Structure formats: C-alpha cells, structure tokens
Amino acid sequence: MSENLDNKTPKENKPKPGTESNPIGDAFDIMVSIPDRLEIKMVNASILSDYEVWIFISSLISNAVIGFWVAYATNTNVNASSILFWNSIVFTILFMITLIVALSKRYTLSKKSKSIKLKTSKVESDNNE
C-alpha cells in the first residue's frame, strides 16, 4: 500500500511577487508627450474672486431681466403694463452696470497678470525592464 501519510500539500508554481507579467499590457501602450516649455499665467486671487462674484451677480440679474421683458411682452393687463415696463428698464440698467463692473474686473485681471515660462526636462525611458 502506497498511501501518502504526509499531509503536506505540494508547492504550487506561483511566480514571485512583483514578477507577474501583465497579459493586457501590450494592448495599452501609452505615450505621453510633454512640451519643451510650459507657460503659466499667474493672476491676483482677490481680483479673480471679485470678477467671479460680479459675473455671478450679473448672471442672476440677467434672468430677472429676461423674465420681466417676457412678462411685459406677453402682458394683457393695461394697468400692470407700465409697472412691468419700468421694472424691466430698472433691471436692464442693473444688469448693464454689473456686466460693466465684471468686464472691468476682467480687464484689470488680465492687465495685472504675470506670465512665467518654465523649461521642462527630457525624460527618456527604455522598455527593457
């Protein structure tokens, strides 16, 4: 009788950690292209914040302007017509003021910005690993 009295399991043929090959690695051959020089535009953060706030306010007021002009154009009540007209005029003026302020902030932002040019280094890699 040749019974195996050893309760040891045979070693499986597992590759060592870190040496496994990637079966789909060749299908995803990726090339990354980096330019020789990078240009970064630096802006004043407080002016940028002001610009964003004024653009947000003007976008909110623009919705009110469109709403009042549509209400004025579709209105059939003569008494409410003059109120809607003057509300439309006032909100149009407010929208134009906020838009002009936002554009002036944008002009100031672009005028006070600095441009930094950086050289990138060449990195070459061989796939002979």
- The 10s digit of each residue's pLDDT in 96-107 is 999 999 999 999
pTM over 0.85: no
Structure tokens at 128: 């002979």
pLDDT category at 35 given cuts 50, 70, 90 is: confident
* Contact of 109 with 51, CB cutoff 8 Å: yes
Residue ranges of alpha helices (H) inside the chain are: 45-74, 78-111
Q: What is the pLDDT of residues 44-85, one digit of tens each?
A: 899 999 999 999 999 999 999 999 999 999 998 888 898 999
